[in-house]
Amino acid sequence: MRDVLVIGGGASGILAALTAAESPENRVLLLERQQRIGRKLLATGNGRCNLTNTGAAPEHYHGEEPDFVRPALEAFPPAAALDWFHKLGLLTAEEYGGRVYPLSNSANSVLDVLRFALDRAGVEQRCACPVRAVRREKRGFAVETDGACLRADKLILACGGAAGAKLGGVLDGYQLAKSLGHKRTGLYPALVQLVTEPEYPRALKGVRAEAELTLLRRTLVLARSKGELQFTDKGVSGPVSFDVSRAAATGGEGLTLRINFLPCGVREAEALLAERQAAFPELPASEVFTGMLHNRLGRMLVKYSGVDAARPLRELDRQALARLAEAASAFTLPVKGTEGFDNAQVTAGGLRTADFDPHTLESRLVPGLFACGELLDVDGDCGGYNLQWAWASGRLAGRLGA
């Protein structure tokens, strides 16, 4: 028998343990520091668990070596992951943008089928069992928990990243890997709210809008995305802000966010406002966006433009209309940074992928050591890509190089 020890009972660790248990020569032990396995999984997708994305491909992933994900994703693409989950008894439904959720709309269903599968496969699980240290031995590894020293022939690190601290995001995995000679990149919160100058967002707290966001460092465009945005008391949130958050976290100083609330550019916006002026000459400027944008947003844009809100539209000259058009199509907020790991969905950065073989996820430095999931320097876009990486990399690591 070969003793396989998996550290971390999250998405990737569960898949690694189940895969290793498929081989009769492996005796698999799954160690989890929290009271139960899969705690973060239950919080994913606002409790609905966006478990994969049918479009998952390397271009949706980031890190020092974005192509590192290719062999794992090719070996266990979204279709294979869905097939695998269907065989475990999970029914799923695909929504817009290729996002897949359990048909029950409950993350519990995903964790339940995984727990049943672990029991059927005979994987021993120890919860409330934080691993404190790992050491290389002459043969295999020694793994220290509170009160026990366990032996393993093969060791799989699946400790996740620092994101979602309240759900168990910790630095343990990086430290355990470091003690075995592995290095990591810088770590940044990603898929997280943006923190901007608060004056305008605070006044609009809770307002949602469809918008195009462009993140700039001075005049250089770092990231751009279109979709739903929500104002918060510190800045902006919502899927579209998550999309540019990685670039905001890693982009350095002097960042600004340009927001276009209209489905057109500034010239067309000017023409649109001129039409409104002709159609509703007596309307006060404060109402110029009424019917186009959320009322509170519209009035705030007028204030931002500096145009006198009480003046009737007929009294506005071309310059005033241009300022209003610019406010709605190129509204600019200085970016102070992002929220921290507590609120982030994923960690950008992690264990250096150059030190792992992408075809097996075995360490190039320590034979018999494997790593998977968010712990590695891989982070995906918003929309099911991170769990797809967790499943695919867990599956590959669990093969133990076979």
Ligand X SMILES: Cc1cc2nc3c(=O)[nH]c(=O)nc-3n(C[C@H](O)[C@H](O)[C@H](O)COP(=O)(O)OP(=O)(O)OC[C@H]3O[C@@H](n4cnc5c(N)ncnc54)[C@H](O)[C@@H]3O)c2cc1C
| In the complex, minimum distance from the CB of residue 208 to ligand X, in angstroms, rounded to a whole number | 19
* CA nearest neighbour of 10 among 43, 28, 32, 26: 32
Residue 165 within binding range of ligand X, rule CB under 6 A: no
User: In the range 81-110, which residues lie near ligand X by CB under 6 A?
Assistant: none
Size of the site for ligand X (CB under 6 A): 40
Element (H, E) at 210: strand 208-217
Q: Which range, of 62-70, 170-178, 217-225, 244-252, touches ligand X by CB under 6 A? A: 170-178
| In the complex, minimum distance from the CB of residue 42 to ligand X, in angstroms, rounded to a whole number | 10
The CA distances from residue 240 to 123, 223, 226, in Å, are 40, 11, 6
HSE-up of 176 (CA within 13 Å, CB side)?
31
Interface mask (CB under 6 A) for ligand X, residues 316-355, using x and -?
A: -----------------------------xx---------
Bridge partners (DSSP) of residue 26 are: 2
Give the integer Cα–Cα distance in Å for 359 and 393: 10
Q: Which range, of 81-89, 155-163, 228-236, 353-361, touches ligand X by CB under 6 A? A: 155-163
Bridge partners (DSSP) of residue 93 are: 101
Of 52 and 214, which has the nearer Cβ to ligand X?
A: 52
Residue 130 within binding range of ligand X, rule CB under 6 A: yes
The CA distances from residue 110 to 44, 106, 118, 156, 358, in Å, are 11, 8, 13, 22, 27
Give the integer Cα–Cα distance in Å for 373 and 371: 7
Residue 392 within binding range of ligand X, rule CB under 6 A: no
Residue 18 within binding range of ligand X, rule CB under 6 A: no
Torsion angle, alpha carbons of 201, 205, 206, 212, to 10: 0
Residue 163 within binding range of ligand X, rule CB under 6 A: yes
* CA nearest neighbour of 324 among 299, 305, 339: 305
Residue 397 within binding range of ligand X, rule CB under 6 A: no
- Nearest-CB residue for ligand X: 10
| In the complex, minimum distance from the CB of residue 373 to ligand X, in angstroms, rounded to a whole number | 2
Residue 390 within binding range of ligand X, rule CB under 6 A: yes
Residue 164 within binding range of ligand X, rule CB under 6 A: yes
Are the C-beta atoms of residues 136 and 82 closer than 8 Å to each other?
no
Residue 167 within binding range of ligand X, rule CB under 6 A: yes
User: In the range 366-385, which residues lie near ligand X by CB under 6 A?
Assistant: 373-375, 384-385
Of 28 and 346, which has the nearer Cβ to ligand X?
A: 346
E strand residue ranges, 63-183? 92-94, 99-102, 124-126, 131-136, 141-145, 148-152, 154-157
Q: Which range, of 33-41, 285-293, 318-326, 329-337, touches ligand X by CB under 6 A? A: 33-41
Helix, strand, coil tally for the chain in percent (to 5): 40, 25, 35
Residue 201 within binding range of ligand X, rule CB under 6 A: no
Torsion angle, alpha carbons of 363, 368, 371, 376, to 10: -10
| In the complex, minimum distance from the CB of residue 353 to ligand X, in angstroms, rounded to a whole number | 14
| In the complex, minimum distance from the CB of residue 99 to ligand X, in angstroms, rounded to a whole number | 8
Q: How far is CA 127 from the centre of its chain?
A: 26
Tokens 């003046």 locate to 311
Residue 270 within binding range of ligand X, rule CB under 6 A: no
Residue 45 within binding range of ligand X, rule CB under 6 A: yes
Contacting positions for ligand X (CB under 6 A): 7-13, 31-34, 39-40, 43-45, 49-50, 130-131, 158-160, 163-164, 167-168, 170, 172-173, 345-346, 373-375, 384-387, 390
